[in-house]
Structure 1
Amino acid sequence: MSPSKVYLKVNRVAAEIVAQAREVTVADVHEAMGPPGRAALMSARMRPLKDGQKIAGPAVTAFCWPGDNLMMHRALYLSQPGDVLVVVCQAELSGAQWGDLATRYALQKGLAGVVVQGCARDVDQVRALGLPVWSTHIWPIHPDKSGHGFVNAPVVCEGVNVRPGDLIIADGDGVICVPRGEASRVVSAAQGKMRKEDEAAEKVRAGAAVWDLSGAAEIYARMQVEEIDGAYDD
């Protein structure tokens, strides 16, 4: 039996939900999910190669052998416009998973972006080309293309379970994965949260204090904190 498996089809989150998800932030989605939102956030090591970019799309997954990115290339080949390629190589520094040529091909295919637990390289070219890429490392070490692995099977990327077709959202704050079956509810809740924050922003522009709007003042009042009208070293 082959140690590798490649699934050719993906049950993707609905396109209309993806379109709505492009308008919400990772922070709002995280909070809209409640306690499960903590487990849905990839670790803080996952950072964008270029500031100011944001993506949302269904996950296409690849799990790669140490020092090898063959399965990344197979997943990239099978991807469709709007997909987010999620690549995992647990031996993160063993070989770069992403680079210039893959970026050019991904742009030609119309991918939304790429998330890599592992190394990205050719980053100056990748940044110039404009494809949104998040990774845990930048390092140019050469990868082979002969290793086993999996494509379009569940992976754990930076501590988060990602199933093919789940909703991936990424921005300057990081990357979050919303299970496909929860995506509609979560995105709708995030939209509601953003509307409330827009209303709060208007109040701040009108002179209101965040101390009051955030609820901090009310909580602080209940804590019976001793306040001293003076400097600590008087």
Structure 2
Amino acid sequence: MNSSRVFLRVNRVDANLCTQAREVTVSDLHEAAISRGRGGLMSSRMRPIQKGARIAGPAVTAFCAPGDNLMMHRALYLAQPGDVLVVVSDAETSGAQWGDMAARYAVKKGLAGVVVQGCVRDTDTVESLGCAVWATHILSIHPDKCGHGMVNTPVVCDGVLVNPGDLIVADGDGVICVPKGEAAATVQAAVARMRKEDEMARAVARGEAVWDLGGSAASYASMGIEEIDAAFDDH
């Protein structure tokens, strides 16, 4: 029995919210999500191919059979401008999920970017094309295109549940998924954190110390730590 399922439509997070989310960092979003009792941060394995890339957009998902990227291609075909393609392969090093031809099509189509639990290849070309890709592995194994899988169903990507339409934000620090229903409040909290840090940056430019601005001085003073006005090896 064929267990594959492909959903042709996605209920996406608001496009204006995605635009706002591109102005904040993954770190700010992570801190905002944690403060709201949420996770969503993918692991340190998920690294960018293109240095300096920053994206935000609704998730379009693909779950691929081991060594096969047929469902990735179906999801890529169905994706719309501004989407983030999230691809999951259980057998992560059994066949590349992404390469130069897919990247050329993604750039032409206007995708925001791609997140892959699995292998990508042709990375020099992918980077030169300006295709924003995050992946857990780089390996030049050729994939098949005949396997079963899923498109636009929930997937677990690098330990994080991603539902189609959720907000995906990625930058040099990694990738975070914010559930669609939590996205507005989380982005607003991240923007507030960003503005607070902007104020701190201006204070540092004026000569103030991060030691005082960030609360370290007050915390240190409350701990009763002994300070000795000498070197440890003075005699």
Instruction: Give the stretch that moved more between structures: 1-10 or 11-20.
Output: 1-10
2:179 is matched with 179
Segments of 5+ residues of structure 1 without an aligned counterpart are none
1:135 is matched with 135
1:28 is matched with 28
Offset at residue 145 of structure 1 (A): 0.5
Residue identity in the other structure for 1:226: E
Offset at residue 36 of structure 1 (A): 6.0
Instruction: Give the stretch that moved more between structures: 154-163 or 30-39.
Output: 30-39
Looking at structure 1, the residues matched to 139 and 37 of structure 2 have their Cα atoms a distance apart, in angstroms, of 30
1:147 is matched with 147
* Equivalences, count: 234
Secondary structure of the corresponding residue to residue 117 of structure 1:
strand
Question: Aligned pair 1:17/2:36, yes or no?
Answer: no
1:57 is matched with 57
1:110 is matched with 110
Checking the alignment, whether the CA contact within 8 Å between 1:29 and 1:37 is kept in structure 2 is no
Looking at structure 2, the residues matched to 126 and 37 of structure 1 have their Cα atoms a distance apart, in angstroms, of 36
Offset at residue 156 of structure 1 (A): 0.5
Offset at residue 187 of structure 1 (A): 0.7
Secondary structure of the corresponding residue to residue 39 of structure 2:
helix
Runs of at least 4 residues off by over 4 Å: 35-38
Deviations along 1:113-161, one digit per CA (max 9) or x if unpaired, are 0000011100110010001000011111010001111100000001100
1:96 is matched with 96
Offset at residue 232 of structure 1 (A): 1.6
Checking the alignment, whether the CA contact within 8 Å between 1:30 and 1:37 is kept in structure 2 is no
Deviations along 1:82-102, one digit per CA (max 9) or x if unpaired, are 000000001110000000000
Looking at structure 1, the residues matched to 182 and 38 of structure 2 have their Cα atoms a distance apart, in angstroms, of 15
Offset at residue 21 of structure 1 (A): 0.6
Checking the alignment, whether the CA contact within 8 Å between 2:5 and 2:149 is kept in structure 1 is yes
Looking at structure 2, the residues matched to 211 and 45 of structure 1 have their Cα atoms a distance apart, in angstroms, of 32
Deviations along 1:8-32, one digit per CA (max 9) or x if unpaired, are 1100001110111111110001111
TM-score (norm 1): 0.98
Secondary structure of the corresponding residue to residue 196 of structure 1:
helix
Offset at residue 2 of structure 1 (A): 2.0
Checking the alignment, whether the CA contact within 8 Å between 1:41 and 1:177 is kept in structure 2 is yes
Deviations along 1:141-183, one digit per CA (max 9) or x if unpaired, are 0100011111000000011000000000000000000000011
Looking at structure 2, the residues matched to 88 and 35 of structure 1 have their Cα atoms a distance apart, in angstroms, of 28
Offset at residue 39 of structure 1 (A): 2.7
Residue identity in the other structure for 2:99: G
2:77 is matched with 77
Checking the alignment, whether the CA contact within 8 Å between 2:64 and 2:148 is kept in structure 1 is yes
2:122 is matched with 122
Percent identity between matched residues is 69
Segments of 5+ residues of structure 2 without an aligned counterpart are none
2:227 is matched with 227
Offset at residue 7 of structure 1 (A): 0.6
1:215 is matched with 215
Offset at residue 80 of structure 1 (A): 0.4
Looking at structure 2, the residues matched to 33 and 188 of structure 1 have their Cα atoms a distance apart, in angstroms, of 11
